[in-house]
Chains A and B, each alone.
Chain A
């Protein structure tokens, strides 16, 4: 199956700082999603981004499918950005909806 690696595993930011989270995957994918898991454990959809760049407020994401990585940018971080960020890709070539998650990046934003 596909391998998904996220870096860094942990990130501590001061409020207002910018950061970049990375997701590397071991095989070609036709689907990639970024999620934010909040302190209550809920998985919030951030981006569906098989390729290209998308922006949503202070967050943006870029996927370079040919080089097998995706980046999540957080700008002007706020304490509400704290939580775990996961990327997920299809487990196998023919399993678009069955996702393989990375181990996540734990983000703590301090006031």
Chain B
């Protein structure tokens, strides 16, 4: 099965610090996504990325978030100034038209 790889698996950061979550999506997929899951809640869409730009973002994805694909392989989610409520599991996903979406194993972000 195709793999989406995320690093790190767990990150602890101080409130106000910047974090970068990294993802290596499936090489021949063109559509990439970040999702978030606060502990005990459902998985929520954050942002989609296609052709090196954001194609859609949710109301959660405010100015403190940004995404980029700096080198054509890695896909990153940056949170500029973390808040306690940013503590969650963050999932990267890749998708190709007419097929299923594949999710990475997630990064558990803990803001203290």
Q: At the interface, yes or no: A73 with Cβ under 8 Å from chain B? A: no
- Chain B residues near A103 (CB-CB < 8 A): 41-42
* Smallest CB gap from B2: residue in A: A45
- Inter-subunit contact B101/A41 (CB<8 Å): no
Select the residue from A33, A41, A96, A97 with max chain B CB neighbours within 10 A.
A97
Instruction: Give the distance to chain B from A65, nearest Cβ to Cβ, in Å.
Output: 15
Q: At the interface, yes or no: B48 with Cβ under 8 Å from chain A? A: yes
- Chain B residues near A33 (CB-CB < 8 A): 100-101
- Inter-subunit contact B1/A45 (CB<8 Å): yes
Q: How far is the CA of A88 from the CA of B44 in the complex (A)?
A: 11
- Chain B residues near A101 (CB-CB < 8 A): 42-44
- Inter-subunit contact B42/A42 (CB<8 Å): no
- Inter-subunit contact B42/A98 (CB<8 Å): no
List residues of chain B with CB under 8 Å of any chain A CB.
Answer: 1, 31, 33, 35, 37, 41-45, 48, 56, 89, 91, 93, 95, 97-103, 105-106, 108
